[in-house]
Amino acid sequence: MPISHECSYVSAGLTHPGHVRQVNQDAFIAMPEIGVWLVADGVGGHLQGEMASKLLVEAIGTIGSTEGLDQLTDLVCRKILAVNDELVQLAKNTGPDTIIGSTVAALIVQGSECVCVWAGDSRVYGLRQGRLTRLTRDHSPVEDLVEHGTLSRTQAMAHPQANVIYRAVGKEADLQLDVRLYDVRAQDRFLLCTDGLIKEASESEITEQLSGDDCRKSSEALLQLALRHGGHDNIAIIVVDINPNDRGANRR
């Protein structure tokens, strides 16, 4: 179904420290009023990682209403890159071998198109007519092995380097963000999540929990799924519905 000019969005987001870690380094921001959502997973020591993800959320939160997908995407990218510069300088001032960073995955929707922006292994998925599609590609050596056929997806989840990423906000001065454009249809649903969900649940399990009518119930079901499977890491989840009235979703 094509999107009408009166496109509307409803979303539900939540985060949880999990069952193991004392500090929650994950963060998220949902701005359905302008069509922007973002999750971030801090990298480094407890305080450094928590600070890095919060800086990203705070930076995106300063964005106001803009016109056009290109303009909004450019603004989101510039905000992320500005945080990258700040984190690189903070790490340099703190001492050698200091890491103050964060993964990032953002979704920007305007009308019949959307853009995903990311660095690291936080992900964006699209759910359309019951089919789940990953819209981002992890910046990790394990993902490279999967793409080359060396590892299966199941093997990748248990690989000893599963937590290793080679790109993140704050990791290096010259950050390269991946930016990809996709089409959007009415009744589409999107999921943004950190690896605290990905490491605990298969994509078939995620699809099952994501397929309900209410995005808030789906986000809560996904969180409970990750916690039931161990909750070994922090978790951040956002579920986004496009034109929810067309799918009978409840606005909350």
pLDDT tens for 77-101 read 999 999 999 999 999 999 888 889 9
pLDDT of amino acid 6: 54
| Consecutive H or E run containing 147 | helix 141-147
**Is 143's pLDDT higher than 90?**
no
**Is 145's pLDDT higher than 90?**
no
pLDDT of amino acid 251: 31
Nearby residues of 154 by Cβ (< 8 Å), 6 or more positions away: 202
Whole-number percent of the chain with pLDDT over 70: 89
CA atoms within 13 A on the CB side of 69: 17
Whole-number percent of the chain with pLDDT over 90: 76
The residue that leads in pLDDT, 143 or 231, is 231
Question: All domains of the chain, ordered by start, with CATH?
Answer: 9-136+170-244 (3.60.40.10)
Q: What does the pLDDT look like over 44-68, one tens digit per residue?
A: 776 799 999 999 999 999 999 888 9
C-alpha separations of 52 from 48, 97, 170, 210 in Å = 6, 16, 8, 29
CA dist., res. 192 & res. 225, Å (int): 15
**Is 198's pLDDT higher than 70?**
yes
pLDDT of amino acid 99: 87
pLDDT of amino acid 235: 98
Mean pLDDT of 12-16: 98
What is the overall mean pLDDT for the chain?
90
- Name the pairing type of β-strands 26-31 and 123-128: unpaired
CA dist., res. 199 & res. 20, Å (int): 14
pLDDT of amino acid 249: 38
Pick from 119-133, 144-158, 228-242: least confident: 144-158
> pLDDT category, 2, cuts 50, 70, 90?
very low
- Cβ contact 106:119 at 8 Å: no
Taking CB atoms within 8 Å and a gap of at least 24, the contacts of 200-206 are: 200/225, 200/226, 200/229, 200/230, 200/231, 200/232, 200/233, 201/225, 201/226, 201/229, 202/153, 202/154, 203/132, 203/134, 203/153, 206/125, 206/132
pLDDT of amino acid 250: 36
**Is 24's pLDDT higher than 90?**
yes
